[in-house]
């Protein structure tokens, strides 16, 4: 039976690109900026990275770029003395063979776990049944050479929501060790982390929304942590929320008034700044990395078609001042940690 990843805070990191070469319509990887960001997060104490996930624009990368990205960051972590930092590899694909191949290439490049996104191309056409999805994930898990986490993110999968019955079934597979839930249904988080139908020692529940971390960690024994985009620039704050929440949970709430007040204040401020990601997604995360950390993210942040006008009109660069207060509040917390 596969071992689940350690509990904690994981960062789905953006992929950094060099300036856009219009003549060739290419934006090469910027591995220098990528490594700078990776080492910043490792120094902050994060548990692990997700590379080539949704925030990492996996669908905009070639298979060779995915492997190059993972290999370069694994090397940087080892050489920097952070070999304990876990790497999860996003494996977004629509077919079983390709997904299994991406997982194999990711392991060879240095990944420890596979974060497997729900296939969804025909979701709005009524092409998927619970039985079909169950068999798809089971086939991937049985042939994956990495332990698998199920990635349920309806916003990028044609609003396809994996049912509780399906998640409970998948949780029993010996090579499926957890899930990332990137949706606002806290009830599903609570049930999957609490139900006695799941062995919580081998199946861990991570929220993809940092604004849900405190309630998740107080919900049940299967609650593990967060895989959250805002931690790309405010990692220490989310780590502090995680540590305080785990302490409160272990003590059954028997902690000091000051600790309760601190975790509530941190979660509130963090949730306020999460509204930036709710509004702007991946491009917003990259804009915030540039603004908060001063790390180059490339022209307009992402790859085509993301970068087309991403900083113009009502995009994140134009809206920064409207969110400045929320960012400064968390930066104040971050600077004290």
Parallel, antiparallel or unpaired: strands 204-207 and 223-227:
parallel
Give the position of tokens 């080892």: 78
Asked whether residue 124 is marked as a ligand-binding residue, the answer is no
Catalytic residue among 107, 180, 202, 290: 180
* Dihedral sign, Cα of residue 135, residue 87, residue 284, residue 286: negative
Pairwise CA distance, residues 263 & 269, whole Å: 10
Q: Is the dihedral of CA 311, 237, 118, 110 positive or negative?
A: positive
C-alpha closest to that of 44 among 272, 239, 263: 239
Q: Which residue in 10, 113, 128, 151 is the catalytic one?
A: 151
The set of residues, in sequence order, having a beta carbon less than 8 Å from that of 330 and lying 6+ positions away, is 234, 237, 269, 270, 272, 273
55 marked among binding-site residues: yes
d(CA 221, CA 159): 28
168 noted as active-site residue? no
Active-site residue flag, 236 = no
List the binding residues for pyruvate. Answer: 55, 227
List the binding residues. Answer: 55, 227
Active site residues: 151, 180
């Amino acid at each position: 039976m596969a071992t689940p990843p350690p509990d904690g805070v994981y960062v789905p990191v953006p992929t950094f690109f060099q300036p856009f070469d219009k003549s060739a319509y290419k934006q090469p990887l910027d591995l220098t900026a990528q490594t700078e960001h990776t080492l910043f997060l490792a120094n902050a104490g994060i548990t692990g990275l997700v590379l080539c996930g949704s925030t990492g624009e996996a669908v905009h990368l070639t298979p060779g770029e995915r492997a190059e990205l993972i290999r370069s960051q694994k090397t940087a972590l080892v050489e920097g003395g952070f070999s304990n930092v876990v790497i999860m590899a996003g494996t977004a694909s629509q077919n079983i063979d390709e997904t299994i191949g991406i997982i194999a290439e990711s392991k060879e490049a240095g990944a420890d776990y596979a974060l497997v996104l729900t296939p969804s191309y025909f979701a709005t056409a009524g092409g998927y049944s619970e039985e079909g999805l169950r068999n798809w994930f089971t086939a991937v898990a049985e042939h994956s050479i990495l332990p698998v986490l199920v990635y349920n993110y309806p916003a990028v999968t044609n609003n396809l929501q994996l049912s509780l019955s399906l998640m409970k079934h998948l949780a029993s597979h010996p090579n499926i060790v957890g899930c990332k839930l990137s949706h606002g249904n806290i009830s599903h988080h609570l049930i999957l982390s609490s139900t006695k139908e799941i062995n919580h020692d081998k199946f861990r529940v991570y929220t993809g929304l940092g604004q849900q971390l405190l309630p998740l960690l107080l919900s049940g024994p299967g609650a593990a942590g967060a895989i959250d985009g805002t931690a790309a620039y405010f990692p220490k704050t989310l780590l502090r929320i995680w540590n305080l929440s785990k302490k409160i949970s272990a003590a059954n709430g028997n902690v000091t008034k000051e600790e309760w007040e601190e975790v509530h204040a941190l979660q509130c401020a963090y949730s306020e700044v999460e509204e930036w990601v709710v509004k702007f997604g991946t491009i917003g995360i990259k804009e915030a990395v540039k603004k908060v950390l001063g790390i180059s993210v490339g022209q307009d942040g992402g790859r085509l078609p993301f970068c087309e006008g991403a900083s113009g009109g009502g995009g994140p660069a134009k809206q920064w001042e409207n969110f400045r207060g929320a960012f400064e509040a968390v930066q104040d917390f971050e600077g004290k940690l």
